[in-house]
Amino acid sequence: MAKDMQISLLLGYYGELLSNKQKKVAESYYFDDLSLAEIAENTGTTRQAVLDNIRHAEQKLKKLEDTLGFASKMIKIAALAEELQTLSDNERVARISAELTEIAGWEDTNGI
């Protein structure tokens, strides 16, 4: 998984556990695709401060995933649900598979 995609995924799962500043800066960088200079201007800080906040956020997100593992478990559930759906013509199995995919928060796991 690409680093940016991995951090974006982790930010989606654990973003609320970051400080407000770390969350805002990381979301601006990963979700809004803003440059360090743009984020610095928006937040009234320096590019270095923005970069430090992003690095600290990344470290915390990775540590949370290493400890809790929710993101990797959800990816596995979504992949298994997708596989189950392709293997079965049974309507009930297809519905359960769709529900699992929805719970995992994935519409399509092919890009993971």
Q: pLDDT tens-digit profile of 20-62?
A: 999 999 999 999 999 999 999 999 999 999 999 999 999 999 9
Give the HSE-up count for residue 26: Cα atoms under 13 Å, Cβ half-sphere.
29
- Do 30 and 13 contact (CB within 8 A), yes or no? no
Residue 70 has pLDDT above 60, yes or no: yes
CA distance 99 to 22: 32
pLDDT band at 110 (very low <50, low <70, confident <90, very high): very low
Least confident range of 1-15, 40-54, 91-105: 91-105
- Do 81 and 97 contact (CB within 8 A), yes or no? yes
Residue 34 burial class via C-beta count within 10 angstroms: exposed 0-12, middle 13-18, buried 19 and up: middle
- Do 43 and 25 contact (CB within 8 A), yes or no? yes
- 106 or 90: which carries more pLDDT confidence? 90
Q: What is the mean pLDDT of the chain?
A: 86
pLDDT band at 1 (very low <50, low <70, confident <90, very high): very low
Q: pTM (2 decimals)?
A: 0.72
